Amino acid sequence: MSVIHRTTMAPTKLELLAAWLPTRPWYRGGADTVPELARAGGFRLDDPEGEVGIEFMVVTDTAGDETHAYLAPMTYRGAPLEGAEHALIGTSEHGVLGTRWLYDGAHDPVLLGALTALLEGRAQPQAQSETDTPDPTVAASFDGPAGAWDTSAAPVVTDGAHGTDVRLGAGAPPLRIVRVLDEEAADARGRVVTGWSLPDGERRRGAYVLVLDPS
């Protein structure tokens, strides 16, 4: 169970993401843009071992001519994840837990295991900011067989202009993390759907994650 601490983080998650987002190929603002970010939605999943924090965070960016909503699935760890230096978003000092290493969750086996469990109906989405509180607004579906993904396999991650594709085992259906949420989602065999808010208060709902056909 994820425990939500009412405390400080320095630097904050938004500060870390503001530095990280312009380095991504799917960021729409350009490499020289300084993002102006606000929290806009998301949910959490539980690590069965209780060691790793898992959050799917949506942020809106108003720095450019257009407002975009970006999805950043992140994991929070009490020690570095071996071999994942390339996926490190940054480190932060947590007021209760001390130093935390924040990773792009597309590269973290713990997040990917929890995500596939959600798609197969074996995990329950949790509210983003409340301890031990299910989030009924999150809907997950997958029309394939149980055990479709080999969560013991090293993830093969491909970042592109429209999102991040992750493969877990030969022949497994790829998972696509839909990074830019205000774009039309592709056809899919499964998906995780929930909402987010725009800066003017308008509510949107759409796919955070898609399950694609193997190719």
Boundaries of domain holding 84: 9-211
- Give the predicted TM-score (pTM) of the model: 0.93
Mean pLDDT for all residues in the chain: 92
In-domain check, residue 4: no
154-163 pLDDT tens trace: 999 999 988 9
Domain-embedded: residue 116: yes
> Does 7 have pLDDT greater than 70?
no
Q: Are 110 and 50 in contact (CB under 8 A)?
A: no
Mean pLDDT, residues 1-15 taken together: 74
- On whether the CB atoms of residues 190 and 119 are closer than 8 A, the answer is yes
Helices assigned H by DSSP within the chain = 13-20, 109-119
Residue 1 has pLDDT above 70, yes or no: no
Nearest CA to 110 out of 45, 14, 165, 190 is that of 45
Residue 3 lies in a domain: no
Query: For the chain, how many structural domains are there in total?
Result: 1
Specify if 188 maps to a domain: yes
Q: For residue 45, give the 3-state DSSP assignment.
A: strand
**pLDDT above 70: residue 4:** no
pLDDT beyond 80 at 101? yes
Assess if residue 2 is contained within a domain.
no
Is the pLDDT higher at 1 or at 205? 205
Q: Is residue 75 pLDDT above 90, yes or no? A: yes
Q: In this predicted model, what pLDDT tens digit does every residue of 16-57 receive, in sequence order?
A: 999 999 999 999 987 788 999 999 999 999 999 999 999 999
Domain-located, residue 149: yes
Cα separation of 100 and 78, whole Å? Answer: 5
* 156 Cβ neighbours under 8 A, 6+ residues apart: 166, 167, 168
pLDDT at 31: 75
For residue 142, what pLDDT is reported? 96
Strands of the sheet containing 68-77, edge to edge, are 9-10, 88-94, 98-104, 68-77, 53-61, 37-45
